């Protein structure tokens, strides 16, 4: 083996252990959510040794997310056939200024709010890293634990449409900037994205199903406070 191959192998193993460390830090919180939020089917996902966000309902299928030097997400299963419902729509708004952050750098990748879509594990299309991590992920998160993730983000200093690889989860998590600090705050904004096309652009393959949707916000790195709202998350036909 030449030096270039050795370097490639070292990089791969560093990536594997970095993703594994983040995966093991995820904890499904059994309590802490207000009953009204849990009643909408949400379950909180927290990070070990990190302060969690505060969540509240703001109407039917509407959640409020408040961060205070904190980070967490709430998610619920969907099991959506993307051949029939390839688009994802939702409404969101942010109160107050959006902190500029660097989504490409771990430890600087805060976001005012984000909507996430996860996808089931597929051994036929899984990368080497996914296959190496899968036994541990299933041990920690169960056999139905999702694999790849699309993150639709309001934050960062990029421009809308930019595709960014997650600095924490690497090639299995692609982030798409929807809004940044230049977009208006305090008013509801309607979004509509083609999840299938975005997945193909990010990963080079066509997804068949979505397994979960999540919402969250992140302000622990910048030490700031944010308040955001998300409602009416729906999969839709063309």
CA distance 174 to 151: 6
Structural domains of the chain, ranges and CATH numbers in brackets: 3-236 (2.60.120)
Cβ proximity of 99 and 219 under 8 Å: yes
Which pLDDT score, from 0 to 100, does residue 2 have?
A: 52
Cβ proximity of 219 and 120 under 8 Å: no
10-residue stretch averages of pLDDT, the chain, 238 residues long: 43 41 46 89 91 96 96 95 98 91 88 95 83 78 83 91 86 91 95 98 95 96 94 97
At residue 184, what are phi and psi to the nearest 5 degrees? Answer: -65, 145
Cα-Cα-Cα-Cα dihedral sign, residues 142, 143, 149, 152: negative
The token pair that represents 1 in the structure block: 């083996």
Angle subtended at Cα 121 by Cα 215 and Cα 92, rounded to the nearest 5 degrees: 15
Which pLDDT score, from 0 to 100, does residue 20 have?
A: 43
The token pair that represents 92 in the structure block: 């969101």
Cα distances (angstroms) measured from residue 207 to each of 12, 146, 184? 24, 13, 33
């Amino acid at each position: 083996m030449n030096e270039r191959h050795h370097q490639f192998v070292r990089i791969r193993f560093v990536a594997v252990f970095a993703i594994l460390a983040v995966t093991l830090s995820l904890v499904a919180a059994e309590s802490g959510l207000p009953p009204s939020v849990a009643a909408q089917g949400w379950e909180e996902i927290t990070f070990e040794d990190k302060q969690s966000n505060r969540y509240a309902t703001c109407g039917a299928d509407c959640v409020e997310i408040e961060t205070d030097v904190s980070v967490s997400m709430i998610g619920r299963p969907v099991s959506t056939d993307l051949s029939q419902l390839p688009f994802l729509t939702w409404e969101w708004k942010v109160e107050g200024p959006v902190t500029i952050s660097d989504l490409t750098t771990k430890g600087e990748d805060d976001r005012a709010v984000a909507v996430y879509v996860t996808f089931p594990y597929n051994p036929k299309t899984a990368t080497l890293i996914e296959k190496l991590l899968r036994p541990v992920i299933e041990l920690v998160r169960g056999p139905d634990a999702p694999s790849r993730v699309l993150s639709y983000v309001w934050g960062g200093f990029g421009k809308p449409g930019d595709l960014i690889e997650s600095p924490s989860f690497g090639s299995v998590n692609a982030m798409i900037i929807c809004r940044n600090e230049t977009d208006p705050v305090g008013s509801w904004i309607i979004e509509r994205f083609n999840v299938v096309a975005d997945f193909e652009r990010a990963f080079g393959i066509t997804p068949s199903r979505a397994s979960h949707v999540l919402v969250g916000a992140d302000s622990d790195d910048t030490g700031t406070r944010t308040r955001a709202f998300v409602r009416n998350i729906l999969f839709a036909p063309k």
